[in-house]
Structures are given as structure tokens and as C-alpha cells.
Structure 1
């Protein structure tokens, strides 16, 4: 693994982003956490302060071109001395008031567009914005966060969320060849439902979900972060263009509708 490693984590103030940051937080790493919620970022800073990594926090909205451009411009050239890693973990659930999952026939155009802007468009343009930095550094790793809601119909996820996560699941295979020319490996993880205090669910729905998982439980954020950590590290030398399901075997065990 590189002597000094830069890891940029978007959604770095959220539960999964912080789990990934904790996985990476050790001496010899430069952690850059990006989030639009300043309070969450300061909480993350306090959580990570004693772990030995160099830590930078940036409050911005990556769904706005100005916010994205300012973020890239604010990072010093010293961060690109070795191939960096970019972990894109920011997203909105798409659910409305009362955790209502808007389905077809109950969609609001502005809300739909907002979810696409945050969950998909900003991801694509963040990759584009950081790619010149990765090229200068001699390559790197990109890891996206998709969802099983994007690869199989979900009865609980908002349609806008599922559509964006389906697109995220497709991006690694669409971009792998182009990025390989710059020695950048790109992959995605597609978790099933995992323990996330920031996205509370109805306890009864969680129990029903757990019964459909062969392993009988939800994943922890740390388990998702461990796979992201490997894919974003120098230990990953030959995996690219993949979207890896991480759902405890749930989709493979679901009955087929005949």
C-alpha cells in the first residue's frame, strides 16, 4: 500500500462515509471528508481526530457546479503525490415526509429531479472533476455506492432512489475501459439494507427484511466499509468495472415470480 495515501470521501459526514473514514484513518493517510452538512462534518472530525490520519473537512454541495469546482480547487497539490482514492458515498433516500416512498403515479417533478441531481449527476461530474488530479498522480481507485434497490425491484425504496442506484451500478462497467487508460480502477458496492442510524426504518419492516436474508441479520456499516476499503486500496490491483452485491445472499434466495 502507498506510503502516503489520499482518500476523498463524499458524504463523509454520514454514517457510511464515517465508517469508511474510520477504516482508512491511520498514520500515513490524508483523509478529505466532503459533505453539505457542516454539523455532521464537525462530528466526524471529533470522531476521527485521535486516529492518526491527516484530516480535511469541506462543507459544500457537490450537486452544484460551483460547489464541486471550489472543492477540487481547494485541495493542495501535495495530496496528489501518490495515486488517490475517491469514495462517492453521498445520496438522498428520495423518500418524502413520513418516509413515504413515492411510486409511479405519485411523483413530483422537482423532487424527482433533485434526487437525480444529487444521487447520479453529481457523482458523474465529481468523477470528471477529480480525474485530472488522479491522472497527475499516476492513477487511483474510485468506489461508488449503489444499492440492491438498483438491481432488483424494492417494495420500500423510492423509485427515484432505485433508478439512480441502478445507474450507479452500471457506471463501473461503462467507465472501466476509459479509466484504465489512466490507471484508475473503478468499482461499486451494492449493499442491501444495513444498520444506519441516519436512515431509521420501521422495526417491524426490519424484522421482516432480516427473515429474508440467509445470514439472518442486517450488515453493519463497518462490514460495508471493509469492502469499500479493499476496493479503494492499493491491495486491489486487478478488480475494475464491477458492481459487487453485499446483501448477505438475500437476492439469490428470493423466490422467483413465475
Structure 2
């Protein structure tokens, strides 16, 4: 995780100011506030969401989570804090979908109620606030939780409209059916034999009609300006070979005498 800022919690900088600082961050949609108490071994983290909401918390030592963990961490008066950007790391362990309004929390500090009912926001404006924040690559939990956890003002399905839902039907064939005995290797063998037979037929046709094929190819090459008659180029070479052979023969005759 990336540290955005850190500091101390005391009379000059109470928890309320720290929470306001987290809410004011625009570069991260789900910042995490880590708090350590100097008077005890209390350590924990709070997960914030766009729009000024705390959606979960967890205490490291005891593993306590939910509103109880939020209440204990925000009642620290002497300690230190760090605001973290989770980047692409998962924050599922901190997400309890509490949707506690930070505006109501700050107004009640340092005496937070034992039950969160008066702090919960039943209709948080999460989607609008989330859209105003820049995209950083971090998964935005606001639209997801707004659709899942928020109360529904209107039913998703109108009961006055008749619906006809057909049951799913499946067809399963037996183990011995032909459709379940397809063998791809057999088809590959047939395809290979067919290609080999076709190649042999083409080769045989060329061999049996080599003169005709040569004539057609030569005529085609001549039409594009390529001369296939190599005799005029081979004449000098052939004559030189014949002369050399005669000289070698005469030299052998002289040696034999």
C-alpha cells in the first residue's frame, strides 16, 4: 500500500480532523486510515468510500470488525495515524458495508453511541460523489454496494405485469450414442491420406505429361520476356568440355606409347 500522509493524533490534531482529511482526498476512491493508540496496544484500520462514508473497520490484535471496531479506533485521543492508498490490493477484509456517514460521526465525537443506527445513512448519495472523483484504477465499491446494500425505493419487478417463465430443459444422450463417440484422430488420418493421394496424382500427371507441361510453362515465361532456351548459353561450356576431353584422351595415348 502507498502512504498518502501520516501524522499524530493529539489535542492539536484530533481524530475529527484526521477523518476530514481522509474525506478530502480526491486521488483515491477507497482510502484506508490506519490508527495506533499510544496508550494501549490498540491498532486497526478503517476503510472509507467515496462520498464521505466509512464502510468497515478491523482491529489487528483481536480481529474485531464492524461498528465496534470503528467506535474504538475513532475514540483514540493519543496516537498516530497513516492514510493509505490500497492501489490494486483487495480490501474485502475491511468491507462490512456499514455506510456510516462521516459527517454524523464527526458531530458526535468523541462520544460515539454504542449502536450505529443513528449514524447509518439509508440513502447515501454514493454514485454521484463517486462519479466526481478521478479514476485511479482502484475498484469503486460505491456503485456496487449502492445496488446491493441500499434499501430499494421501488420494486425491481412490477407485480401487475404477468410473467411467463419457462423452465430450463436439457437433453442428454446415452453413452453409446454415435454423437458421443467422435474420434478426431480418425478424421486426421483420413485427411492425411487424402492429401497424400492428391499429391501423388498431381505428381503422376506432371510426369506423364512433362513435355506438354514444359511447353506450357515455356510459352508462359516467354510471354513475360523470359527466355527458357538455354542452349545458346550452354554451347560454349559444352564445347569447352568436349575439347578438354579430347586433349585428355590424346595425352593418355602418348603416355601409353
TM-score by length of structure 2 reads: 0.23
Greater RCO between the two (CA within 8 Å, min separation 6)?
Answer: 1
